[in-house]
Structure 1
């Protein structure tokens, strides 16, 4: 039952002993503030990792070709290397144990139309695996499948904004849009978290684009998704092996960085982030929990001092008829109230610091640092419990002292 007189007495005690209250609360404020900042930084690093892979799967690597920059096996500099459909089969066959997805790609801009509406859009020739490499989510129908690829069917999957721009309020599913005078059936509509540009792309089987527009089997590039169970170092080894195999196939010097290369920027960033995450994953919990322990020790020492300081007060209360239980209760409730309030203040200060320095931390791969309130709440509860235990033991001991002894205590 809520005792108004008890809480009034607690507030009066805090008000009369402000220095004592501030001293006991400062340790909690500092501990929770530092705890909040440290775990906010850890979350900011995780946000960077997630942001990096919004557009493309984190295990996706793209292989490109260009002109040779070094002579090799009698070939001169400047020879153009061109990937073809056979390279997709070659990579899939040679590295089948380490590859999860693979897709050849073509990319061109075309004028598309539906009834009276027209627009220029990017059309990409891809394979079914590209949906997972690009992290596209089908919201209507389906994506391109292997039957479409083999049959070179005139089917397309369009982005959500393509549907909006060309079909208005109509559903694009099952409708036919015209691409350079050729009708394509829309078999799916997808969404993509990569932004508007990603949702204004039309996907078709790359074999269909080759048959109708290029007249050959050439590809712009090949995208590979390695198996998620590979470590970053194993993924780097796989990328190097694929690159060397392609160079050997096209008689390119192993040291030639232009003729055949891998777009491993994401993998490099992942390696860097993994190293930072590993270091912070060890450092932050140690510092965070170390801070928490320091806070527990600090508030414990302060509570012992406070109880000792209030020995005469306890003696007076006992002389006036207060029970040992009521004496212990008032000290514990005062401790819990101070710890709760100052813990919240520490949380507010910590969150405020994270918000004020958040933008400046992006250069260190920390994006939008924030903290899970439940973690900080749990840390505050730990401090409250620690403070209560720290106050209970000396308070219980002091409540058993005879009033005359307590009044004589120096």
Structure 2
């Protein structure tokens, strides 16, 4: 019997029992849809966290004051006042394979322009910070070395700050008040939008670090040092050299614990990627259980179909249908359920993923791999769970089948 004829008979049989066929497909539809939707959520989490770390800069090391928590009671990273501006200068001058070094300090202030005011984060940085964080100025200029040396009261603002203080007015050249002190706006940054963690990257004001230290905060230390390494292959080497240099500068000898903490964002990103990959696989595996349940549903309904069509099978075998003819017919029926259910499941899964992204304001990532794998698994499930009922039908004795009522 031709394959096309078997396929046509399978469709006819499924169409004759539309509701039963649909309910049988439901397990496959839910399984495939769940795999695609949950994997897209897992991939979205991975993409969000990765982009959040990447937004801090590529090949980044961040030095924070305070020891890392290695057991026992320790000072939280950033809680101590052990890093100085000179430490950043020493790192820049004495360690190779580094592109940029930028120490920074920050605090929140109420900023006023005319009758408008806005509370935002004011960060004191050096000119290198612009390259480290891939910032770009849409109007005006960024902080210069001259601004730092003169402790100038100048500011570069983000688009969120500009829209709340100036509306549609050009802010460059205007004076704003930060902590009741006048600052001249010299630049407006291009928008970077929200980070993956929901933080508005445009709600920020940058001033020279010397101005922030002496005229705003009245401090002599820095809160962090951002280091951009020239190549990823030098990350571990530069990290070790930074730790050695700072231990020497801070007179830490022997087993004395570091009073600083160096974070390697490349290693952090690798760890995060491994964790989110495991999360994605776990979500996919949980959803895959639905496919297994759907396969059992296919076996169940095909067993019922064999029982209902016992006389038909007996007649066909009496007329010359072979073992393979009967096997092929029932296998095609079970595979058609898997194929149609898989296609509908793909559509449902992609739709659910988009709904999650829209309603939850959450980024989801739909890739080809889970779609292909879940579809192949759906078809394979239909084939695997259809084998037993098909063999049972093909092995029926035609005389006993014809006697069946």
Same fold (TM over 0.5): yes
Corresponding residue to 2:138 among 137, 140, 155:
140
CA deviation profile, 1:33-70 (whole Å, cap 9, x unmatched) = 78458736743651563476387347544324479xxx
Counterpart Cα distance in 1 of 2:216 and 2:222: 13
1:63 aligns with: 63
2:381 pairs with 1:382: no
The farther-off stretch of 373-382 and 289-298 is 289-298
2:359 aligns with: none
Contact 2:111 2:176 in 1 (8 A): yes
Contact 1:102 1:222 in 2 (8 A): yes
2:81 pairs with 1:83: no
Counterpart Cα distance in 2 of 1:121 and 1:31: 47
Within 5 A, what are the aligned runs for 1:42-121? 42-43=42-43, 46=46, 49-50=49-50, 53=53, 56-57=56-57, 59-65=59-65, 81=82, 83-84=84-85, 86-97=86-97, 99-107=98-106, 112-115=111-114, 117=116, 121=120
Residues 28, 218 of structure 1: CA spacing in aligned structure 2 closer, same or farther, 3 A cutoff?
Answer: closer
SS at match of 2:164: helix
2:167 aligns with: 168
1:202 aligns with: 205
1:183 aligns with: 184
Shift of 1:193: 2.0
Contact 2:34 2:287 in 1 (8 A): no
Counterpart Cα distance in 1 of 2:277 and 2:10: 50
1:71 aligns with: none
Within 5 A, what are the aligned runs for 1:384-399? 385-386=379-380
Residues 186, 304 of structure 1: CA spacing in aligned structure 2 closer, same or farther, 3 A cutoff?
Answer: closer
Residues 347, 269 of structure 1: CA spacing in aligned structure 2 closer, same or farther, 3 A cutoff?
Answer: farther
Within 5 A, what are the aligned runs for 1:276-295? 276-277=275-276
Contact 2:193 2:200 in 1 (8 A): no
TM-score by length of 1: 0.59
Shift of 1:167: 1.0
Contact 2:59 2:232 in 1 (8 A): no
Within 5 A, what are the aligned runs for 1:142-157? 144=142, 155-157=154-156
CA deviation profile, 1:313-342 (whole Å, cap 9, x unmatched) = 25657999x9x99x9789746742465348
Shift of 1:202: 1.4
Counterpart Cα distance in 1 of 2:16 and 2:217: 86
Within 5 A, what are the aligned runs for 1:337-348? 337=337, 340-341=340-341
Contact 1:29 1:345 in 2 (8 A): yes
2:261 aligns with: 262
TM-score by length of 2: 0.60
- Give the aligned CA root-mean-square deviation in angstroms: 6.0
Counterpart Cα distance in 1 of 2:212 and 2:364: 46
2:226 aligns with: 223
Shift of 1:189: 4.9
SS at match of 2:96: coil
SS at match of 1:53: helix
Structure 2 gap segments, 5+ residues each: 1-7, 68-79, 357-361
Contact 1:103 1:126 in 2 (8 A): yes
Would you say how many aligned residue pairs link Structure 1 and Structure 2? 365
2:366 pairs with 1:372: yes
1:12 aligns with: 16
2:157 aligns with: 158
Residues 103, 409 of structure 1: CA spacing in aligned structure 2 closer, same or farther, 3 A cutoff?
Answer: farther
Shift of 1:248: 0.5
Contact 2:122 2:204 in 1 (8 A): yes
Contact 2:342 2:374 in 1 (8 A): no
Within 5 A, what are the aligned runs for 1:315-330? 316=315
Contact 1:62 1:221 in 2 (8 A): yes
Contact 2:43 2:280 in 1 (8 A): no
Residues 334, 183 of structure 1: CA spacing in aligned structure 2 closer, same or farther, 3 A cutoff?
Answer: closer
